[in-house]
Amino acid sequence: MRYAEMDFGEARLRTGPEPDTPHGFARVRVLACGVCATDLHLLHGMVLPRGATYPVRPGHEIAGVVEHVNGDGARVSEGDLAVLHPLAPCGRCSACERGEDQRCESLRTLGMHDPGGFADIVVWPASRMLPANGLEPGAAALLADAAATGHNALKLAAVPPGGSLCVLGAGGLGTATLAVARALDPRVRLAAVVRSEASAERLRALGIEVHRGLVGAARALRRNLGRMDAVIDFSGQPGAPAEGVALLRRGGRLVLGSVVDAELTLGASSAFMAHELQVVGAYVSSLHDLAAVIELARDRRLDPSAWVSHRRPLEELEGALELAENRPPGTVRVVVDCAAE
C-alpha cells in the first residue's frame, strides 16, 4: 500500500505492507483525506504530543469504506462509508467516563501517534468511526476535524438563541464553524475577521458581516453590529485574543481555538472582572460532536462540499500541501482523493 511519511520539511510517498487489524479495530480503504493546517505544522516540524515521534504518517480528516471490522462494539459495518474521529481516548480515565474524549489524559492522535489517512488503508479503533453513508467522501472527510472541531468550539461559546458570534480567522476551520453555527441556529448573527478580499467576498455572499484585518476589527464590528455574545479565535494571530475581548458584551465568552506562538495577551484585566468575561480553550472535539455534524450534513442543513475548493490525487500530495500552504485566492480546503488514479 501507499502511505505518506513526513519528517522536518519533507513529505514523501512510500509503499509498504498492509497493516494488520487488531481486535477492536477496523480497516478502512481511504477515499478522501483533508489537508489540515496541522499537517502543515507537522511538515515544518512541530512539538508532537507526548508519545509521538518523527517521522509521522500524517492525515487525520478521513472518509473511507470499511473493509473489515475485528470484534464487537463498532458503530460501523463492512461496506459503510465511515468518517474517522481523529482522537482515540483511553476509555478508562475520569475525562473518558464523562464523555469528554478530547480531555483524556492518554489520547492517541490519528496521523501523529498512529498512521494516518494520506494512504490507501488506515486501521483505527472501530468505536471511533461513524457511518456517513450517502455523503460525498471528500465532503464527509471535512466533518471529521473542521466541522466537529467547530461544533465543539460552538458548544463552549454557548451563544444564546438568536445571539451573535464573531469568528476571527475564517480559513478552513473558521468557515466550517460559521456554517455549523448557522445550521444549528439560522437566526444567529454572524461576523468574521479575515485577511484576504477573496475570503471576505465568499463570506459576505453568505450574509456574514466581514471585517478585513485584525487591527481595528473590534471597533468597526461594534459600530455595525454592537457587542457580541461570543468570539472564537482560529486566527493564530498574537493580537487576536485582545481584539476578541474588545468585541464582547458583558458576560461574553472568548474561545481560544488555535495556538498562538506568543504569550497570551488579553488586554486590561478590569474588564474581565467588571464585565464578568470568560475565556476558554477549545481542543478538537468529542465523538458526540462528530455525530452531530454528520447528522446535520445528512439532513442537508450543513453542506461541507461547499468548503472543498481543491482536490488532488494521493500521487500529488506534495502539490496538495503546497496549495494548502500558499492558499491562493479562493482556497478554502484542499482534499486528497486517495482512491483516484
- Report residue 68: phi and psi, to 5°: -155, 130
Please write down the long-range contacts of 46-55, taking CB distance under 8 Å and 24 or more positions apart.
48/112, 49/107, 49/109, 49/112, 49/113, 51/106, 51/108, 51/113, 52/109, 52/112, 52/113, 54/6, 54/7, 54/8, 55/5, 55/6, 55/7
The residue among 126 and 218 lying less far from Zn ion, judged by its C-beta, is 126
Q: Which residues pair with 130 in a beta bridge?
A: 83
**Residue 9, SS3?**
coil
Closest CA to 286 of 63, 78, 103, 139: 103
Does 40 bind Zn ion (CB under 5 A)? Our answer is no
What's the closest the beta carbon of residue 258 comes to Zn ion, in angstroms? 11
Does 93 bind Zn ion (CB under 5 A)? Our answer is yes
Does 104 bind Zn ion (CB under 5 A)? Our answer is yes
The residue among 225 and 323 lying less far from Zn ion, judged by its C-beta, is 323
What's the closest the beta carbon of residue 95 comes to Zn ion, in angstroms? 5
The residue among 164 and 331 lying less far from Zn ion, judged by its C-beta, is 331
The residue among 150 and 241 lying less far from Zn ion, judged by its C-beta, is 150
Q: Please identify which residue in 6, 28, 32, 36 interacts with Zn ion, judged by CB under 5 A.
A: 36
Does 289 bind Zn ion (CB under 5 A)? Our answer is no
Does 321 bind Zn ion (CB under 5 A)? Our answer is no
Closest CA to 340 of 321, 315, 313: 313
Does 89 bind Zn ion (CB under 5 A)? Our answer is yes
Does 229 bind Zn ion (CB under 5 A)? Our answer is no
Q: Please identify which residue in 145, 229, 233, 337 interacts with Zn ion, judged by CB under 5 A.
A: 145
Closest CA to 290 of 182, 141, 171, 178: 141
Segment near Zn ion (CB under 5 A); pick from 41-49, 102-110, 211-219, 315-323: 102-110
Query: Per-residue DSSP letters for 243-302?
Result: HHHTTEEEEEEEEE-S--SS------HHHHHHTT-EEEE--S--HHHHHHHHHHHHTTS-
The residue among 95 and 181 lying less far from Zn ion, judged by its C-beta, is 95
Residue numbers 147-206 binding Zn ion by CB under 5 A: none
What's the closest the beta carbon of residue 89 comes to Zn ion, in angstroms? 4
Does 90 bind Zn ion (CB under 5 A)? Our answer is yes
For binding to Zn ion (CB under 5 A), which residues are involved? 36, 38, 89-90, 93, 96, 104, 145
